[in-house]
């Protein structure tokens, strides 16, 4: 099949005008041609780009769409999630998950980093319609987190037992956040596999740093309201990131999610210690919960490994990578579309270590192709291949 459009983005940059993509029947890219093939090609309006990579999502929380009010701040948000997450039937949860998965497919998402506290998304992985890296998320803020780690291993093992001939299915055990995972649990996660991808909710609220710097603030109040004895915890006097980054070996690629309160000193420190650091932005969730975006110009200047996630429907109105890019573009008009599309495709594929298959329109890869129309107006994205 031959396809073309007024603009084609290959995942890294715009291709020359008049370029034509040739794909095989199984949608593998065979070649990129010049204008000599234009007359034989199917012409699409707008932009053609590789399928989107959603680096951070919690598909299992899809049933919580619209349950939690916006702009409460992180701590009240978390309290509401804990309160509401379990009051649903299995059928309600299954239906919501299926609808959310279909929504991601419709919006051109071809690969996902899925955060899991359960094995609820096994059927979506088995469908063979999307590449998955499932992050089995460990939570436990105490001195002896053996039980919590054991549970994360169980979830991991069920995902690891699932195989596919056609799609990438991978998994790793990861910490939820610095305020919900103790040093001891970080060390167990660190030792599970030396080179596993570690994804973590990082500096999503100012209170997280307050806990690490002074053992004060709203997160500490949250812990005590949950009956968690934090006597074992000693503040480091440094930000959360500058503390826990030393608890993970540099062999682990890191995906730091949110980064709403990350500073220049944090960026410099973590990049000095860790070779592979990806900054995953979930702007619509940030606006939903904290009504504030990270300093993206700062991340852009010091770290060009930025990728995009939707987070879950408990803190978002939709699961659309293009909707996330629109939010960034509205507040950061200085960032051009080529850069934003790169974050949404190639950088995401590298963050999830899937760049040999998706993220770029290149001979031999099978990235899926998305048509984006009216990117500066009433934008829309849909999968064409």
Helix (H, G, I), strand (E, B) or coil at 3: strand
Give the nearer residue to Zn ion in terms of CB position, either 10 or 311.
Answer: 311
Whichever of 311 and 324 has its CB closer to Zn ion, that residue is 311
**Number of residues this chain uses to bind Zn ion (CB under 5 A):** 1
Helix axes 146-160, 183-192, angle to 10 degrees: 30
CB of 300 closer than 8 Å to CB of 293:
no
If one counts every other C-beta atom within 10 angstroms of the C-beta of residue 274, the result is: 18
Site string for Zn ion, 310-329 (x = CB under 5 A): -x------------------
Can you read off the two tokens belonging to residue 91? 């059928």
Residue 212's nearest CA partner among 189, 245, 190 is: 245
256 and 277 Cβ atoms separated by less than 8 Å:
yes
Closest separation in Å from C-beta 341 to Zn ion = 23
**Comparison of 10 and 120: residue with beta carbon closer to Zn ion:** 120
Nearer to Zn ion, 290 or 311 (CB): 311
| Segment contacting Zn ion by CB under 5 A, of 172-180, 306-314, 316-324, 345-353 | 306-314
328 vs 370 by CB, closer to Zn ion: 328
Q: Which stretch binds Zn ion (CB under 5 A): 26-34, 264-272, 308-316, 371-379?
A: 308-316
- Closest distance to Zn ion from the beta carbon of 163 (Å): 27
Q: Which residue from 122, 54, 128, 123 is spatially nearest to 313, judged by alpha carbons?
A: 54
Site map (CB under 5 A) of Zn ion, residues 329-358, x = contact: ------------------------------
Residue whose C-beta lies closest to Zn ion = 311
- The answer to whether 47 touches 374, Cβ cutoff 8 Å, is no
Does 60 engage in binding with Zn ion (CB under 5 A)?
no
Q: Which is nearer to Zn ion, 54 or 239 (CB)?
A: 54
Is 67 exposed, middle or buried, given 0-12, 13-18 or 19+ CB atoms closer than 10 A?
Answer: middle
Q: How many CA atoms lie within 13 A of 225 on its CB side?
A: 11
**Sites of contact with Zn ion (CB under 5 A):** 311
């Amino acid at each position: 099949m031959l396809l073309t459009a007024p603009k084609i983005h290959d995942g890294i940059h715009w291709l020359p005008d008049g370029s034509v993509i040739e794909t095989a029947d199984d949608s593998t890219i065979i070649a990129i041609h010049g204008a000599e093939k234009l007359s034989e090609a199917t012409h699409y309006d707008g932009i053609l780009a590789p399928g989107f990579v959603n680096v951070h999502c919690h598909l299992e929380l899809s049933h919580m769409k619209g349950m939690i009010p916006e702009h409460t701040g992180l701590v009240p948000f978390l309290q509401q999630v804990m309160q509401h997450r379990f009051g649903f039937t299995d059928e309600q949860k299954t239906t919501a998950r299926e609808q959310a998965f279909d929504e991601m497919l419709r919006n051109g998402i071809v690969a996902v980093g899925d955060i899991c506290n359960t094995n609820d998304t096994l059927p979506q992985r088995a469908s063979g319609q999307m590449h998955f890296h499932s992050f089995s998320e460990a939570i436990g803020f105490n001195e002896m987190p053996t039980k919590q780690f054991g549970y994360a291993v169980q979830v991991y093992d069920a995902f690891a037992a699932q195989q596919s001939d056609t799609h990438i299915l991978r998994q790793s055990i990861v910490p939820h956040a610095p305020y919900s995972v103790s040093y001891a649990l970080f060390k167990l996660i660190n030792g599970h596999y030396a080179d596993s991808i570690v994804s973590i909710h990082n500096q999503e609220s100012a209170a997280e740093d307050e806990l690490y710097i002074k053992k004060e603030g709203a997160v500490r109040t949250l812990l005590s309201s949950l009956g968690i004895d934090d006597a074992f915890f000693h503040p480091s006097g440094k930000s959360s990131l500058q503390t826990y980054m030393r608890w993970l070996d540099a062999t682990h690629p890191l995906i730091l999610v949110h980064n709403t309160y990350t500073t220049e000193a944090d960026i410099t420190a973590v990049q000095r210690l860790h070779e592979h650091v990806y900054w995953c932005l979930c702007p619509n969730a940030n606006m939903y919960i904290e009504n504030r975006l990270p300093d993206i110009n700062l991340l852009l200047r010091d770290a060009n490994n930025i990728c995009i996630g939707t987070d879950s429907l408990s803190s978002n109105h939709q699961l659309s990578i293009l909707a996330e890019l629109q939010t960034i573009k509205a507040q950061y008009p200085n960032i051009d579309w080529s850069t934003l599309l790169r974050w949404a495709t190639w950088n995401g594929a590298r963050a999830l270590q899937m760049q040999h298959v998706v993220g770029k329109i290149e001979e031999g890869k099978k990235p899926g192709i998305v048509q984006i129309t009216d990117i500066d107006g009433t934008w829309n994205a849909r999968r064409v291949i």
